[in-house]
Amino acid sequence: MTTLFISDLHLDAERPEITTLFGDFIQREASKAKALYILGDLFEAWVGDDDPSDAGAFVAEKLKALSDGSVPVYFIRGNRDFLLGNEYARRAGMIILPDPAVILLHGTPTLIGHGDLLCTDDLAYQQFRAQTRDPRWQAQFLSQPLAARIAFAAQARAASKARFGELQASGMSETITDVSPGTVASTFALHGVRRMIHGHTHRPAIHDEADGCTRIVLGDWYTQGSVLRVNDDGFDLAALPA
């Protein structure tokens, strides 16, 4: 049987066709899989498990049916849905894993994660990440009214787009927003594995790293789908036409 990996769907109301594509993927392919791993940024934004979005309700229904049908669903939080908590995970039948995590994937120890921890050249983002992963910051944020949290998320998205535009204008976007080679090498060494799977950078590819290591980068779902299929015979990184 095949194990499936997806990430960076960024589901929201502005792209309903991608939410529909996700539902079709769950029904047609994931329902026959050994397991499904979602490596972060399932949603464009997540302001807490009381998030009222239609996409959130749709995804919970589809994933709960999948897990009830004996296909385990594993989730690693991304930089857009780091506030996704245990309540929503129960609704969706998902098992939340730490970032990163080592799994035994068809006999091969494999490191999986969202991927943003590898982008250490982006100092401003790493500072923001450290702040927003602090339990005290999260508790304070989640204590605010829902309307205030939604407004904050909209402001954060606008600021992120503006900053990316500035990086593009300066010619720095390709290096700053991608992984740091040194961090990749040290991460392989730290965890003692030779295969890594992550998303975040929106640069789908299979990289041959030093010392015989392999790094697989999942694609985003902005205009199409992206899935990594792994079985006992190997792996295949493919696009899913919208």
For the chain, the domains span 3-240
List helix spans (H) across the chain: 16-28, 54-68, 86-92, 123-132, 135-142, 146-170, 173-176, 181-191
d(CA 34, CA 92): 17
What are the pLDDT digits (tens) for 219-228?
999 989 999 9
Left (φ > 0), alpha (ψ -120 to 50) or beta: where does 192 sit?
left
What are phi and psi for residue 9, nearest 5 degrees? -75, -35
In the predicted model, what is the mean pLDDT of residues 116-136? Answer: 94
Give tens-digit pLDDT for 142-156: 999 999 999 998 888
What pLDDT score was predicted for residue 161? 76
According to the model, what pLDDT value does residue 156 have? 83
CATH class of 3-240: alpha beta
